[in-house]
Amino acid sequence: MRTYRLALIGFGNVGQGLAQIIRDQGDDIARQLGVQITIVAVSDLLKGSLYDPDGLSPTALLDAVQTSGDLNGVAAPHRDWNAQQTIAESSADVLVELSYTDLESGEPAVSHISQAIEKGLHIVTTNKGPIALRYPRLSALARDRGVEIGIEGTVMSGTPTMALGQDLLAAANITRIQGIVNGTTNYILSQMENGTTYNAALAEAQEKGYAEADPSGDVEGFDAAGKVVIMANVLMDASITLGDVARQGITGLTPQDIETARSEGRRWKLIASIEKTASGVKAGVRPTRLPTEHPLASVSGPTNAVTFTTDLLGDVTLIGPGAGRMATGYAIVCDLLGIARKVQPREK
């Protein structure tokens, strides 16, 4: 049995989804897959911080947040530690970095991750900021310290896109990646095809929790551009930055554009693309009119999809959820199982 003791920095939707999976399926995962997952510390700027070397009960954490919105009612031998102290002084062996996403500085996540790697912790994160901005440096640091970095949840939530590209297509030689990697914009475009205006579709996306109050990160393509950088650098061995991504959002699309495309048997999608060329990797995010028979054209609503074009297999497409509390919580479990496979010697 492999045991992972997690310190969660941030306890929003994703952290709570993870706690729910551990509460409901932790025993099954331990019994069937040989990996025991325990939360020993939670540090959240707003909800409070707890550390118990014997493990925190996921049920108690979830009940407290549901009743009071914070963690104050949960008993624990240590509390009020900030993120830094939690990483430094807890007995966790995995840092689960779930603080807020900042695509300009990557902070505070970059500092948390660097500190944890130095201390010898494995890292699992769903936070695009540090991975889009600092992956080459962080992964070199991790290699030096002999720890793993799991980043499944940074692209397509728990749909195992990164593991598919990194492990399973490793030798097939990926020459191009095309995808729909932002659920909010795909939902808006799908609704506009059904006759809804842009503003009404955006309001619906916000109501359903797909889009933030300030939607510019989604609709201007910044979120998708961050994912493009991550896929290029992790899966295609590039070293590009956000500035290298030719980015265009969906705010310029009119109902007329949508209708014209439809009359031509086409559909607008916000397509993220990365291509190996003779002069290096070309990366972009832009609205694209796909013919309806294109495998990405039928991906609608908040669903995401990525097509890997490879030398040995041709096109391989993965379609799945791009967001969601449980789906993103699963990304963390998927990474922990991946780390267990990578670092645990088997019988032979």
Q: Catalytic positions, please?
A: 227
Cα torsion angle, 15, 19, 24, 27, sign: positive
The reply to whether 314 sits near a second copy by the rule CB under 8 A is yes
- CB 262, min distance to a second copy, A: 14
Q: How far is the CB of 199 from a second copy (least distance, A)?
A: 26
Task: Show the beta-strand stretches assigned E in 55-192.
Answer: 78-79, 94-97, 122-125, 149-150, 174-180
- State whether the Cα torsion 79-85-90-93 is positive or negative: positive
Sign, CA torsion 260/263/265/269: positive
Q: Return the number of the residue (217 or 321) whose C-beta is nearest a second copy.
A: 321
Judged by beta carbon, residue 212 or residue 237, the one nearer a second copy is 237
Mention every residue, 6+ apart, whose C-beta is less than 8 A from residue 324: 17, 157
333 binds a second copy (CB under 8 A): yes
Q: What amino acid occupies position 197?
A: T
Q: Give one DSSP letter per residue of 164-186, joined into a string.
A: IIIIISTTT-EEEEEEE--HHHH
Smallest Cα–Cα separation from 243: which of 258, 228, 257, 256?
228
321 scored as a contact of a second copy (CB under 8 A): yes
What number of chain residues touch a second copy (CB under 8 A)? 52
Near a second copy by CB under 8 A: residue from 131, 281, 319, 323: 319
Stretch that binds a second copy, among 8-16, 161-169, 174-182, 184-192 (CB under 8 A): 161-169
Q: Which CB, 246 or 343, lies closer to a second copy?
A: 343
For residue 330, state whether it binds a second copy (rule: CB under 8 A): yes
Q: Is 203 in the site for a second copy (CB under 8 A)?
A: no
| Residue 182 lies near a second copy (rule: CB under 8 A) | no
Q: CB-wise, 72 or 344, nearer to a second copy?
A: 344
**Distance (Å, whole) CA 318 – CA 230:** 17
Residue 163 is a binding residue for a second copy (CB under 8 A): yes
Helix, strand, or coil (residue 11): coil
Told to check if 1 binds a second copy by CB under 8 A, we report: no
Q: Residue 288, SS3?
A: strand
Amino acid at 233: N
- In the list 7, 21, 138, 240, the residue contacting a second copy (rule: CB under 8 A) is 21
Q: Which residue in the set 45, 60, 203, 316 belongs to the binding site for a second copy (CB under 8 A)? A: 316
Cross-strand partners of 286: 271
Task: Give contact residues for a second copy (rule: CB under 8 A).
Answer: 21, 25, 28-29, 32-33, 146-147, 158-160, 163-164, 167-173, 293, 295, 297-300, 312-321, 326-327, 329-330, 333-334, 337-338, 341-348
